[in-house]
Structure 1
Amino acid sequence: MNHKEFEQQFSVRDYELDTQGVVNNSVYQNYLEHARHEFLKSVGLNFNKLHDNGTDAVVHKVELVYKKPLTGDDQFVVKTHAKKSGNVRFVFYQNIYRLPDRELILKGVITAVFMNDGRPIRPPQEVEAALQ
Protein backbone atom coordinates (compact mmCIF):
# COMPACT_ATOMS: atom_id res chain seq x y z
CA MET A 1 0.00 0.00 0.00
CA ASN A 2 0.96 3.59 -0.46
CA HIS A 3 3.05 4.91 2.37
CA LYS A 4 3.96 8.12 0.58
CA GLU A 5 3.62 10.86 3.13
CA PHE A 6 1.98 14.09 2.05
CA GLU A 7 2.56 17.37 3.89
CA GLN A 8 0.21 20.35 4.05
CA GLN A 9 1.36 23.49 5.86
CA PHE A 10 -0.98 25.77 7.82
CA SER A 11 -0.97 28.79 10.13
CA VAL A 12 -3.16 29.21 13.19
CA ARG A 13 -5.73 31.97 12.72
CA ASP A 14 -6.92 34.13 15.62
CA TYR A 15 -10.56 33.04 15.37
CA GLU A 16 -9.54 29.38 15.89
CA LEU A 17 -8.48 30.06 19.48
CA ASP A 18 -10.65 29.43 22.51
CA THR A 19 -10.75 31.48 25.72
CA GLN A 20 -7.59 29.74 26.97
CA GLY A 21 -5.63 31.07 23.96
CA VAL A 22 -5.12 27.67 22.34
CA VAL A 23 -6.60 26.17 19.18
CA ASN A 24 -10.04 24.78 20.03
CA ASN A 25 -10.09 20.98 19.93
CA SER A 26 -12.75 20.89 17.19
CA VAL A 27 -10.62 22.99 14.81
CA TYR A 28 -8.06 20.20 14.48
CA GLN A 29 -10.60 18.11 12.57
CA ASN A 30 -10.90 20.93 10.01
CA TYR A 31 -7.12 20.92 9.56
CA LEU A 32 -7.12 17.15 9.09
CA GLU A 33 -10.02 17.18 6.62
CA HIS A 34 -8.44 19.85 4.45
CA ALA A 35 -5.13 17.95 4.47
CA ARG A 36 -6.92 14.71 3.45
CA HIS A 37 -8.55 16.45 0.48
CA GLU A 38 -5.21 17.93 -0.59
CA PHE A 39 -3.59 14.51 -0.15
CA LEU A 40 -6.20 12.97 -2.46
CA LYS A 41 -5.51 15.68 -5.05
CA SER A 42 -1.78 14.97 -4.78
CA VAL A 43 -2.39 11.34 -5.82
CA GLY A 44 -4.69 12.33 -8.68
CA LEU A 45 -8.06 12.05 -6.95
CA ASN A 46 -10.59 14.82 -6.47
CA PHE A 47 -13.05 14.46 -3.60
CA ASN A 48 -15.72 16.53 -5.40
CA LYS A 49 -15.36 14.63 -8.69
CA LEU A 50 -15.65 11.32 -6.84
CA HIS A 51 -18.94 12.57 -5.42
CA ASP A 52 -20.14 13.73 -8.84
CA ASN A 53 -19.45 10.20 -10.11
CA GLY A 54 -21.52 8.63 -7.31
CA THR A 55 -18.81 7.69 -4.81
CA ASP A 56 -18.48 9.32 -1.42
CA ALA A 57 -15.71 8.78 1.08
CA VAL A 58 -17.46 9.13 4.43
CA VAL A 59 -15.68 9.44 7.76
CA HIS A 60 -16.55 6.36 9.79
CA LYS A 61 -14.30 6.76 12.81
CA VAL A 62 -12.02 9.46 14.22
CA GLU A 63 -9.32 8.82 16.79
CA LEU A 64 -7.40 11.88 17.99
CA VAL A 65 -4.68 12.06 20.60
CA TYR A 66 -3.85 15.62 21.62
CA LYS A 67 -0.22 15.91 22.69
CA LYS A 68 0.40 19.67 22.94
CA PRO A 69 -1.64 22.77 22.05
CA LEU A 70 -1.16 25.10 19.13
CA THR A 71 -1.44 28.82 19.91
CA GLY A 72 -1.88 32.05 17.95
CA ASP A 73 0.42 32.54 14.94
CA ASP A 74 1.86 29.02 15.20
CA GLN A 75 2.92 27.47 11.90
CA PHE A 76 2.41 23.74 11.55
CA VAL A 77 2.30 20.87 9.10
CA VAL A 78 -0.14 18.00 8.75
CA LYS A 79 1.49 14.79 7.52
CA THR A 80 -0.89 12.31 5.88
CA HIS A 81 -0.68 8.83 4.41
CA ALA A 82 -3.37 6.23 3.72
CA LYS A 83 -3.64 2.48 3.96
CA LYS A 84 -6.41 0.16 2.78
CA SER A 85 -8.29 -1.71 5.51
CA GLY A 86 -10.65 -4.46 4.40
CA ASN A 87 -12.84 -4.15 1.31
CA VAL A 88 -14.53 -0.77 1.81
CA ARG A 89 -12.27 1.25 4.12
CA PHE A 90 -9.15 3.32 3.94
CA VAL A 91 -7.39 4.54 7.06
CA PHE A 92 -5.76 7.94 6.98
CA TYR A 93 -2.87 8.38 9.40
CA GLN A 94 -2.42 12.07 10.11
CA ASN A 95 -0.04 13.77 12.50
CA ILE A 96 0.28 17.48 13.18
CA TYR A 97 3.72 18.94 13.90
CA ARG A 98 4.47 22.50 14.98
CA LEU A 99 7.06 24.33 12.91
CA PRO A 100 9.93 24.91 12.93
CA ASP A 101 10.75 22.51 15.79
CA ARG A 102 8.57 19.63 14.45
CA GLU A 103 7.10 19.04 17.92
CA LEU A 104 4.28 16.46 17.75
CA ILE A 105 0.98 18.22 18.46
CA LEU A 106 -1.64 15.64 17.52
CA LYS A 107 -1.84 12.03 16.33
CA GLY A 108 -4.90 11.19 14.25
CA VAL A 109 -6.31 8.02 12.72
CA ILE A 110 -9.32 8.64 10.49
CA THR A 111 -11.20 5.71 8.96
CA ALA A 112 -13.20 6.42 5.79
CA VAL A 113 -15.77 4.16 4.19
CA PHE A 114 -16.62 4.41 0.50
CA MET A 115 -20.34 4.69 -0.17
CA ASN A 116 -22.76 4.80 -3.08
CA ASP A 117 -26.43 5.66 -2.48
CA GLY A 118 -25.91 5.25 1.27
CA ARG A 119 -24.40 1.76 1.00
CA PRO A 120 -20.79 0.75 1.58
CA ILE A 121 -18.99 -0.17 -1.64
CA ARG A 122 -15.59 -1.32 -2.72
CA PRO A 123 -13.61 1.81 -3.72
CA PRO A 124 -13.52 2.49 -7.47
CA GLN A 125 -10.48 1.15 -9.31
CA GLU A 126 -9.07 4.68 -9.70
CA VAL A 127 -9.08 5.11 -5.92
CA GLU A 128 -7.42 1.75 -5.27
CA ALA A 129 -4.77 2.46 -7.91
CA ALA A 130 -4.03 5.98 -6.61
CA LEU A 131 -3.70 4.87 -2.99
CA GLN A 132 -1.53 1.78 -3.63
Structure 2
Amino acid sequence: MAKLTKDRLFSEFRVRHHECDFGGVVYHAIYCNYFDQARYEFLRSVGADLDTLRRGGANLLLLRSDIRYFKPLIADDIFFVTTEVTQNQENDFEFRQNIVKRDEEGLTSTSFSVAAFFDKEGRKIERGILRF
Protein backbone atom coordinates (compact mmCIF):
# COMPACT_ATOMS: atom_id res chain seq x y z
CA MET A 1 0.00 0.00 0.00
CA ALA A 2 1.30 3.44 -0.89
CA LYS A 3 -0.19 6.87 -0.25
CA LEU A 4 1.01 10.06 -1.91
CA THR A 5 0.47 13.32 -0.05
CA LYS A 6 1.81 16.46 -1.70
CA ASP A 7 5.53 15.69 -2.26
CA ARG A 8 5.79 12.70 0.08
CA LEU A 9 4.94 9.05 -0.48
CA PHE A 10 4.14 6.69 2.38
CA SER A 11 4.86 3.05 1.46
CA GLU A 12 3.84 0.28 3.85
CA PHE A 13 5.90 -2.89 4.27
CA ARG A 14 6.05 -5.92 6.57
CA VAL A 15 9.33 -7.51 7.66
CA ARG A 16 9.61 -11.01 6.28
CA HIS A 17 11.30 -13.68 8.36
CA HIS A 18 13.96 -14.46 5.74
CA GLU A 19 15.17 -10.83 6.02
CA CYS A 20 16.22 -11.39 9.64
CA ASP A 21 19.25 -12.87 11.35
CA PHE A 22 19.00 -15.66 13.92
CA GLY A 23 18.04 -13.12 16.58
CA GLY A 24 14.98 -12.02 14.58
CA VAL A 25 16.48 -8.60 13.74
CA VAL A 26 16.50 -7.31 10.16
CA TYR A 27 19.94 -7.68 8.59
CA HIS A 28 21.37 -4.19 7.94
CA ALA A 29 21.73 -4.60 4.15
CA ILE A 30 18.00 -5.38 3.79
CA TYR A 31 17.24 -1.73 4.56
CA CYS A 32 18.73 -0.92 1.13
CA ASN A 33 15.98 -3.04 -0.41
CA TYR A 34 13.27 -1.25 1.55
CA PHE A 35 14.54 2.18 0.56
CA ASP A 36 15.05 1.08 -3.05
CA GLN A 37 11.51 -0.27 -3.39
CA ALA A 38 10.06 2.89 -1.83
CA ARG A 39 12.02 5.03 -4.34
CA TYR A 40 10.51 3.05 -7.20
CA GLU A 41 7.04 3.36 -5.68
CA PHE A 42 7.53 7.12 -5.41
CA LEU A 43 8.58 7.42 -9.05
CA ARG A 44 5.67 5.25 -10.18
CA SER A 45 3.27 7.43 -8.16
CA VAL A 46 4.38 10.54 -10.09
CA GLY A 47 4.05 8.83 -13.47
CA ALA A 48 7.63 7.66 -14.01
CA ASP A 49 7.50 3.97 -14.90
CA LEU A 50 11.13 2.86 -14.83
CA ASP A 51 10.56 -0.07 -17.21
CA THR A 52 9.10 2.29 -19.83
CA LEU A 53 11.94 4.77 -19.32
CA ARG A 54 14.51 1.96 -19.62
CA ARG A 55 13.00 0.77 -22.90
CA GLY A 56 13.29 4.37 -24.09
CA GLY A 57 16.99 4.43 -23.21
CA ALA A 58 16.97 6.11 -19.78
CA ASN A 59 18.31 4.22 -16.76
CA LEU A 60 18.11 5.51 -13.19
CA LEU A 61 21.39 4.82 -11.41
CA LEU A 62 22.12 5.30 -7.75
CA LEU A 63 25.14 7.58 -7.24
CA ARG A 64 25.20 7.80 -3.45
CA SER A 65 23.48 6.16 -0.50
CA ASP A 66 23.81 6.93 3.19
CA ILE A 67 21.76 5.01 5.77
CA ARG A 68 21.58 5.77 9.50
CA TYR A 69 20.23 3.15 11.90
CA PHE A 70 18.52 4.09 15.17
CA LYS A 71 16.20 1.22 16.23
CA PRO A 72 15.98 -2.28 14.81
CA LEU A 73 13.12 -3.73 12.84
CA ILE A 74 12.23 -7.27 13.82
CA ALA A 75 10.38 -10.12 12.14
CA ASP A 76 6.75 -9.32 11.28
CA ASP A 77 7.03 -5.57 12.08
CA ILE A 78 4.79 -3.39 9.92
CA PHE A 79 6.45 -0.12 8.97
CA PHE A 80 6.25 2.84 6.63
CA VAL A 81 8.93 4.29 4.41
CA THR A 82 8.38 7.97 3.70
CA THR A 83 10.00 9.25 0.54
CA GLU A 84 10.60 12.83 -0.53
CA VAL A 85 12.57 13.87 -3.59
CA THR A 86 14.08 17.08 -4.90
CA GLN A 87 16.17 17.86 -7.95
CA ASN A 88 19.53 19.54 -7.34
CA GLN A 89 21.50 21.93 -9.54
CA GLU A 90 23.22 19.05 -11.37
CA ASN A 91 19.77 17.60 -12.22
CA ASP A 92 20.38 14.67 -9.87
CA PHE A 93 17.48 13.45 -7.78
CA GLU A 94 17.96 13.63 -4.02
CA PHE A 95 15.84 11.18 -2.04
CA ARG A 96 15.24 11.67 1.68
CA GLN A 97 13.62 8.67 3.28
CA ASN A 98 12.61 7.56 6.76
CA ILE A 99 11.46 4.26 8.20
CA VAL A 100 8.95 4.41 11.04
CA LYS A 101 7.22 1.45 12.67
CA ARG A 102 3.47 1.60 12.29
CA ASP A 103 2.70 1.37 16.00
CA GLU A 104 5.67 3.28 17.46
CA GLU A 105 6.98 6.82 17.45
CA GLY A 106 10.48 7.75 16.39
CA LEU A 107 12.65 6.85 13.46
CA THR A 108 13.96 3.36 12.89
CA SER A 109 16.36 4.53 10.17
CA THR A 110 16.92 7.29 7.63
CA SER A 111 18.40 7.38 4.17
CA PHE A 112 19.79 10.07 1.92
CA SER A 113 20.49 8.96 -1.63
CA VAL A 114 21.27 10.60 -4.95
CA ALA A 115 20.34 9.14 -8.33
CA ALA A 116 20.49 10.33 -11.93
CA PHE A 117 19.36 9.15 -15.34
CA PHE A 118 21.93 7.87 -17.84
CA ASP A 119 21.56 6.79 -21.46
CA LYS A 120 22.64 3.41 -22.85
CA GLU A 121 26.16 4.72 -23.52
CA GLY A 122 26.59 5.81 -19.92
CA ARG A 123 26.16 9.55 -20.53
CA LYS A 124 24.19 11.50 -17.99
CA ILE A 125 20.84 12.74 -19.26
CA GLU A 126 20.71 16.33 -18.11
CA ARG A 127 17.16 17.40 -18.89
CA GLY A 128 13.66 16.28 -19.67
CA ILE A 129 13.15 13.01 -17.76
CA LEU A 130 11.41 14.24 -14.59
CA ARG A 131 10.79 17.57 -12.92
CA PHE A 132 9.95 18.19 -9.27
Common topology (TM > 0.5): yes
Aligned to 1:57, which of 46, 55, 60? 60
Instruction: Give the letter aligned to residue 89 of structure 2.
Output: G
Residues 16, 23 of structure 1: 8 Å contact kept: yes
Q: Are 2:111 and 1:105 aligned?
A: no
Matches within 5 A, 1:84-123: 84-116=87-119, 117-123=121-127
Query: CA–CA distance in 2 between the matches of 1:64 and 1:14?
Result: 22
Instruction: Give the letter aligned to residue 124 of structure 1.
Output: G
Q: Offset at 1:19? A: 2.5
Write out per-residue CA displacement over residues 72-95 of structure 1, whole angstroms, 9 at most, x where no aligned residue: 110000000101112331101110
Instruction: Give the letter aligned to residue 61 of structure 1.
Output: R
Higher mean displacement: 116-125 or 27-36: 116-125
Residues 88, 114 of structure 1: 8 Å contact kept: no
Residues 114, 123 of structure 1: 8 Å contact kept: no
Number of equivalent positions: 126
Structure with larger RCO (C-alpha < 8 A, sep 6+)? 1
Q: Offset at 1:124? A: 2.2
Identity of counterpart residues, as a percentage? 33
**Greater helix share, structure number:** 1
Aligned to 2:69, which of 43, 47, 66? 66
- Return closer, same or farther for 1:66/1:123 CA change in 2, 3 Å cut-off: farther
- Return closer, same or farther for 1:123/1:33 CA change in 2, 3 Å cut-off: farther
Instruction: Give the letter aligned to residue 14 of structure 2.
Output: S
Instruction: Give the letter aligned to residue 26 of structure 1.
Output: A
Higher mean displacement: 52-61 or 115-124: 115-124
Secondary structure in 1 aligned to 2:32? helix
Q: Aligned-residue CA RMSD in angstroms? A: 1.3
- Per the alignment, residue 48 of structure 1 pairs with 51
The normalised TM-score by structure 1 is 0.90
Residues 11, 73 of structure 1: 8 Å contact kept: yes
Gaps of 5+ in 2: 1-5
Q: Offset at 1:42? A: 0.7
